[in-house]
Structure 1
Amino acid sequence: MDALLDDEQGRWLLPRLTAGSSTMHVAVPRGYPAYARIFHPAERDRPVLQGGQQGQVGTSELHVTSEEVSWATVAEAFGTIMHPLAQFHRLIGSPEDDGNGVHDAAGWRYFEPITGNLDAGVLAAVARHLDDHTTTPTEGVAAVWEGWGGLTSSAGYAVLAASDGPIPVGSGYFVPDGGPGSGILPKDVVNGPVLALPDRSYYLFSAGARFFAGSGWPNGAAWHDGSAIPQSPSIVWPDDHSWVLVTEIDWDSTIVAGSWELIGALVSDPTIEALPIREGANLRWDSDNENRPPNSSA
């Protein structure tokens, strides 16, 4: 995977986007036959008593079991409606998750899906379909938002290993900014041009759909720092422009624009939670009218 030190291959997107739009086309290009919305997995947990019979004091331990769940499972648990324009906070009947989760009647505690990042395994499953629906499966572009922490410099808070030695006075566990190129990306990339789209700018890398189709794709991604949760690309498209995948940094879902055949394949894959969505769809936080609370104006 090589960095592209100009924005030429991404300029075709700009006329298909609408700056300031209230629709998904502030980030997703118009003009494709069909679109699919891929819902980022949510997580839930609950305490489970293990290691002994109920009532036998001292023989049981309380453990917490956790699992990823689909939005459809969340809707079923809270008695709400899963549909293409669903918003997670409406599915759980709460204006927002304050970080402590929201509980259902069975004792499961639910946490919001990650925004701006499509699970690595789900992306691999999606990419296998993308590979089948382009004439250039090994040639394409991956765009990564320039604002992700650690990409451009080393500045940030660090976790220091236990040591008998003194911590430098004034360090505050903070790693000072080493300047452009001291982060994950090299200096020539950081100082090079970026693709400027409405409200966002991106570094570009050469990467076809086939690159992301393997489960080990994070190990070859130029922006991956080895963390447990790899960052997915923000936008991916093949050289023939037959489709586009967009994971906008503020969204908890990913949009794929492409042919009806591609969208049908994504929606039919049981390993991917996806629903077809119309062109011009609104994904704002108040767009879920199916689950709008009674007497609510928003």
Structure 2
Amino acid sequence: MDDYPPVHRDRAPALYGRLRVRTGDLGPALRLTADGGTGAFGTVAGVAAAGFAAYARVLHPASLGERPVRWAAVGAALGRSVEPGTYWHELVGMGRDYHNASVYGLPGVWDEHPAEGPTPPDVAGALVPLLARHTGTPDRCWYGLWNGYGRWDFDTVPTFRTPGRDEVLLSGTLAEAVSPLELDEFAELPDLWWPEDHAWCVGGDVDLVSTYVGGTEALVDDLLAAPELEAHRVAPGDPVG
């Protein structure tokens, strides 16, 4: 039997960036799921919570020389359209295990796949001011961070369950959503964000190249119209990707 040394993980911080790690009452997370229940694993409502009037899928951009590239631009170069449920690997004509390919990209169009995981910082930064207009409690927000990200040892921190994941509960303001980057540039942002008034919920996942948002029709309309975002309207039972 192979004898591998244990993987070192840093002790869980009291502050994840400027977000406080909650080690006591998990009530805010339980109330989130109590509002509308949880959707099935692998669905929009399973990622961004159930019970909202409307949902949007926000695509993580590909890149070319570290500049963001929209999926629509990649599709146009390949003669393919981007629909609400389009998978990245289908758009670029690759298999589901595209991350293992040694050759990928299209010269002059894209050279890096969309970021897989929770909301990328640039997308998060664009979401924050837009989301702030659709809640009465931007200074009182809650966050969920998957306890499986490898750097931090959250084994002694209580977690709440979402479909397929165990999440650490964090709290802070909406403006502090991107503050984990103060730890280092590779720190994962929270997978889940929601305000105290439950006006919306943002959901991402380690295996996805999209972020999902549940909220009002007005919020989703604003997401679709935001020039800095590439978003599509989706239904709560749609599969995620």
Q: TM-score, normalised by structure 2?
A: 0.82
User: Which residue identity is paired with 1:133?
Assistant: H
Aligned mates of 2:50, 2:116 — CA distance in 1: 22
- Divergent runs of 4+, >4 A: 106-109
| 3-state SS, counterpart of residue 72 of structure 1 | helix
Residue 12 of structure 1: aligned partner:
31
Aligned mates of 2:186, 2:28 — CA distance in 1: 28
Alpha-carbon spacing, 1:243–1:66, altered in 2? closer, same or farther (3 Å): closer
Answering whether residue 26 of structure 2 is matched by residue 24 of structure 1, we say: no
Question: 1:120 touches 1:230 (CA, 8 Å); kept in 2?
Answer: no
After TM superposition, the structure 1 = structure 2 runs for residues 1-298 of structure 1, keeping only pairs within 5 Å, are 1-5=19-23, 6-15=25-34, 16-19=37-40, 21-44=41-64, 65-95=65-95, 96-104=98-106, 106=107, 108=109, 110-152=111-153, 190-212=155-177, 217-218=178-179, 221=180, 224=181, 226-283=183-240
1:154-211 C-alpha deviation (Å, 9 max, x unpaired):
xxxxxxxxxxxxxxxxxxxxxxxxxxxxxxxxxxx65131112222111111123233
| 3-state SS, counterpart of residue 143 of structure 1 | strand
Structure (1 or 2) with the larger CA radius of gyration: 1
Cα shift at 1:273: 1.2
User: Which residue identity is paired with 2:231?
Assistant: A
Alpha-carbon spacing, 1:281–1:10, altered in 2? closer, same or farther (3 Å): same
User: Which residue identity is paired with 1:209?
Assistant: L
1:132-172 C-alpha deviation (Å, 9 max, x unpaired):
101101001011110111111xxxxxxxxxxxxxxxxxxxx
Cα shift at 1:121: 2.1
Cα shift at 1:276: 1.3
User: Which residue identity is paired with 1:145?
Assistant: W
Identity among equivalent pairs (%):
26
Aligned mates of 1:209, 1:228 — CA distance in 2: 19
| 3-state SS, counterpart of residue 270 of structure 1 | coil
1:1-57 C-alpha deviation (Å, 9 max, x unpaired):
3222231110123352134x453233232221111111011123xxxxxxxxxxxxx
Aligned mates of 1:146, 1:97 — CA distance in 2: 23
Alpha-carbon spacing, 1:249–1:126, altered in 2? closer, same or farther (3 Å): same
Aligned mates of 1:271, 1:109 — CA distance in 2: 18
Aligned mates of 2:101, 2:26 — CA distance in 1: 38
Alpha-carbon spacing, 1:81–1:194, altered in 2? closer, same or farther (3 Å): same
Question: 2:132 touches 2:138 (CA, 8 Å); kept in 1?
Answer: yes
Q: TM-score, normalised by structure 1?
A: 0.67
User: Which residue identity is paired with 1:249?
Assistant: V
Aligned mates of 1:41, 1:229 — CA distance in 2: 17
Alpha-carbon spacing, 1:259–1:138, altered in 2? closer, same or farther (3 Å): same
Aligned mates of 2:108, 2:102 — CA distance in 1: 14
Aligned mates of 2:205, 2:101 — CA distance in 1: 21
User: Which residue identity is paired with 2:137?
Assistant: T
Question: 1:133 touches 1:242 (CA, 8 Å); kept in 2?
Answer: yes
Question: 1:25 touches 1:280 (CA, 8 Å); kept in 2?
Answer: yes
User: Which residue identity is paired with 1:4?
Assistant: R
Cα shift at 1:101: 4.2
Corresponding pairs, count: 218
Aligned mates of 1:18, 1:263 — CA distance in 2: 19
Question: 2:39 touches 2:237 (CA, 8 Å); kept in 1?
Answer: no
Alpha-carbon spacing, 1:110–1:129, altered in 2? closer, same or farther (3 Å): same
Structure 2, gaps ≥5 residues long: 1-18
Structure 1, gaps ≥5 residues long: 45-64, 153-188, 285-298
